[in-house]
Amino acid sequence: MAFNPLKTPLSKIIFDHTFDGIFHEDQFDTFEVSQAEIDDAIKDIKGRLGVKLQSGKVSNVLLLQLARHKLNHYEKFGNQIHCYHFQTILDIIESVEKGWQANIRPFNGNLLGGLKHVHHNSSTFISQNLGNHWRSKVAGRDEIKYQNELLEQIFNKISDELSQEIANKRALTILLTQLLTESKFRKQKKQTGEWIVFAEKDGINYYLCLATHHEAIDFTDRVIYDRLISCVNEFPELNDVISKVP
């Protein structure tokens, strides 16, 4: 049973066929979700957080954001519209609660000084992270020759159970799945710029909102500050952490 070599570079397949998660205004089709749907989503998220949180607290602002993403109700940050995998964000919160310090950075400046942000990985950067990982594996080799060596190894393992046509297609799926899994555990030298903004007070983390680096560049930190300032009313103990700026 012969292996059918792939003539297209894998890098092109990755970038041509992997959804990048970013939408622009002219592509964005708004739709409404009912209050009942939002309430149900918030209830579900609170239940999940009950398992993931230790002493931490989550603001109503963040709960609403997470509920909308759970319902695939995309959110605009600056000039971009994003759709996040809410469960990934909950997993990051759980990691921070357990003492994980990677990718946590403090804010500077009058508006957000005293707060911190932790990066989270969303579908927005699947292509970028997977592509970067693949390039690191190719590392100067002939790309098509190398990718076909990997595909043929997989093909030979499954060809006894599958037809040649299906085995060829399945080999590519298996390879891409392996690469995607590997890329998730690869050290990230460049962060995505997608943040969970939080405050720490007396050993307790207060998770306040989602934000992005790009919106802060486009509209200054004020756009993030305006999103989270209502959290002071919800958590008055943060009065001396979150600046009161007119």
Q: What confidence category does residue 25 fall into, taking pLDDT thresholds of 50, 70 and 90? A: very low
Task: For residues 168-177, give the mean pLDDT.
Answer: 86
Over residues 182-216, the pLDDT tens digits come to 776 555 444 457 899 999 999 999 999 999 988 99
Q: What are phi and psi of 109, to 5 degrees?
A: 100, 170
Q: What confidence category does residue 23 fall into, taking pLDDT thresholds of 50, 70 and 90? A: very low
pTM score, whole prediction: 0.66
Task: For residues 168-184, give the mean pLDDT.
Answer: 81
Q: Which residue has the tokens 């555990």?
A: 185
Distance CA 224, CA 111 (A): 9
Distance CA 190, CA 192 (A): 7
Closest CA to 235 of 210, 211, 206, 209: 206
pLDDT surpassing 60 at residue 51 = yes
